[in-house]
């Protein structure tokens, strides 16, 4: 394993490529996501996308806010060489809904709201309450663990530089 600080900075692009690929998957390949969760209903872009373009002399940062954060401005940013650095998403599984923001460089999760649970009425209810909350956090984390693992295998495969990148490029150009 590499030094932590070196590995963090050297490979943060991997998280940003993951979010950019994920946006493409959300738009074009929901079937892939279904294979990671038997109860999968949908994964959508939420109320915020942040892009960063480091190909320009001074890195350019673009934030798009609002429900169903905009495709057009975002695609324009991608066309100019930007990557998604933060993505707010809505995840639906069975009857339940999670909303959260995932940051590319750290894979940190923020602004996470999980399905509502009943408050404990007594001290005896506390354990059940905590375990239900932890189950709901874990459900989301496990989904993303499998999804990121899939992405990494794809990213280091020959398929990435062939079919997958071509499909993403086609999506960007045609949107």
Partner 1 sequence: MGISSSTVSITQYTVQGKLNSQVIDTVADGLTKHTIVDIDQQVIDRAVGWTSFDKPFQPDFSGSSFVYGNYFVFSLRIDKKNITAKVLKKHYTVEAARRMSESGRDYLSKTEKKLVKDHVQNALFLRIPATPNVYDVAWNFEGSSLCFFTNLKAANEELETLFSKSFRLSLIRIFPYTAADIYSNLKDSQRDDLRNISPAPFVN
Pick the piece of the chain touching partner 1 (CB under 8 A) from 26-34, 40-48, 58-66, 156-164. 156-164
Regarding 36 and contact with partner 1 (CB under 8 A), the answer is no
Q: How far is the CB of 22 from partner 1 (least distance, A)?
A: 13
Q: What long-range pairs does 50-53 form, CB within 8 A, spacing at least 24?
A: 50/84, 50/85, 50/86, 50/87, 51/77, 51/78, 51/82, 51/83, 51/84, 51/85, 52/16, 52/82, 52/83, 52/85, 53/77, 53/80, 53/81, 53/82, 53/83
Among 36, 105, 115, 175, binds partner 1 (CB under 8 A): 105
Task: Tell which residue, 39, 60, 42, 43, has the closest CA to residue 51.
Answer: 60
Residues of this chain, 56-95, that bind partner 1 according to CB under 8 A: 78-81, 83
Q: How far is the CB of 54 from partner 1 (least distance, A)?
A: 9
Total residues at interface with partner 1 (CB under 8 A): 54
Regarding 28 and contact with partner 1 (CB under 8 A), the answer is no
Regarding 32 and contact with partner 1 (CB under 8 A), the answer is no
Task: Tell which residue, 47, 136, 66, 148, has the closest CA to residue 98.
Answer: 136
In degrees to the nearest 10, what's the CA dihedral of 8, 12, 14, 15? 100
Footprint of partner 1 (CB under 8 A): 1-2, 4, 7-8, 10-15, 17-18, 20, 55, 78-81, 83, 103-113, 126-127, 130-131, 133-134, 137-138, 141, 145-146, 148-149, 152-153, 155-156, 160-161, 165, 168-169, 172
């Amino acid at each position: 394993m590499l030094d932590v600080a070196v590995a963090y900075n050297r490979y943060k692009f991997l998280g940003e490529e993951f979010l950019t690929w994920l946006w493409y998957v959300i738009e074009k390949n929901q079937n892939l996501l279904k294979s990671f969760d038997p109860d999968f209903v949908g994964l959508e872009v939420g109320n915020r996308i942040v892009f960063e373009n480091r190909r320009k002399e001074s890195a350019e940062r673009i934030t798009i806010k609002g429900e169903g954060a905009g495709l057009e401005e975002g695609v324009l940013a991608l066309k100019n060489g930007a990557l998604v650095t933060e993505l707010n998403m809505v995840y639906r599984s069975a009857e339940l809904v999670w909303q959260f923001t995932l940051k590319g460089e750290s894979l940190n999760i923020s602004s996470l709201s999980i399905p509502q649970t009943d408050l404990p009425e007594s001290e005896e209810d506390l354990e059940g309450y905590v375990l239900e909350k932890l189950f709901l956090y874990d459900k989301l984390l496990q989904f993303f663990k499998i999804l990121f693992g899939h992405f990494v295998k794809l990213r280091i495969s020959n398929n990435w530089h062939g079919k997958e990148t071509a499909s993403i490029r086609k999506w960007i150009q045609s949107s």
